Amino acid sequence: MNLRRSLLALFLVVPLVGLTLLTPQRASSAATAGDFLVTMSETAINQLGDKDTSQAQKEDQFRELVSEAFDIPRISKFILGVNWRSASEEQRKAFIAAFEESNMRRFLPFFEDYKGEKFVVLSERQDSNNDKVFFVSSKIDRPGSEPIEVEWRVYKKDGKYKILDAVVEGVSMALSLRQEYNSVIQQSGLDGLISQLEKSAGQPVQQ
């Protein structure tokens, strides 16, 4: 549940009032890391919440949002750890592609769970050891439930922001995936993990 919340928290929220809808590309170059998170959530709600949008269009839009919002290559490298260093270039490319596609299909259906959550940025600070990394504290206000606290780790490069991790109620998305995938690698090897991800990526999105 916590891992699912990590990925959904960016998208399944009501954006703050008064912001102009931005494309993913413009959101990536927002003024601050907090602005980036808010405008990305607004883009998601407006595009993917449109009932007139076909399922195929929603999949394409969500795939673009994930690609723009998350630094998939960096996350992949962290998740695989020592297995990344020993992997061939072909295995690395195959993992990144399968990882991105399988997670797009894994999380897209949960847009149906949207029930009026509100995303609020509480604070933002720069990493004292890396001036390109920012920590954004936020909360998700949920009608009738306790708010969810989320801290985002965001990286800025060439004027654009990318998400590296989301920590939801003390649980790191990146670390959770690292543990989950390492368990599969120990049993089936890296090729076995890639095969599993490719299989899930090839399955149709459940309505």
* Strands in 104-205 per DSSP E: 118-127, 130-141, 148-157, 160-168, 171-172
Nearest-angstrom CA–CA distance, 103 and 79: 14
CA angle 59, 72, 10 (to 5 degrees): 60
> How many CB atoms are closer than 10 A to CB 91?
17
Cα–Cα dist 145/103, whole Å: 27
Q: ∠ CA(58), CA(31), CA(151), 5° rounding?
A: 70
What's this model's pTM, rounded to 2 decimal places?
Answer: 0.79
| Pick from 37, 99, 34: nearest CA to 68 | 37
At residue 1, the pLDDT reads 42
Of 136, 106, 105, residue with least CA distance to 10: 136
pLDDT in tens, 86-109: 999 999 999 999 998 887 777 666
**What are the mean pLDDT values of the chain's consecutive 10-residue runs (207 residues total)?**
48 35 50 87 70 80 84 95 97 95 74 63 93 91 82 91 89 91 96 93 61
Task: Please state, as a whole number, how many other Cβ atoms lie within 10 Å of the Cβ of residue 38.
Answer: 24
131-136 LR contacts (CB < 8 Å, sep 24+): 132/156, 132/157, 133/164, 134/32, 134/33, 134/161, 136/33, 136/34, 136/37
- Residue 70 carries which DSSP code? B
User: Which pLDDT score is estimated for 171?
Assistant: 87
Q: Residue 67 and residue 104: Cα distance in Å, rounded?
A: 10
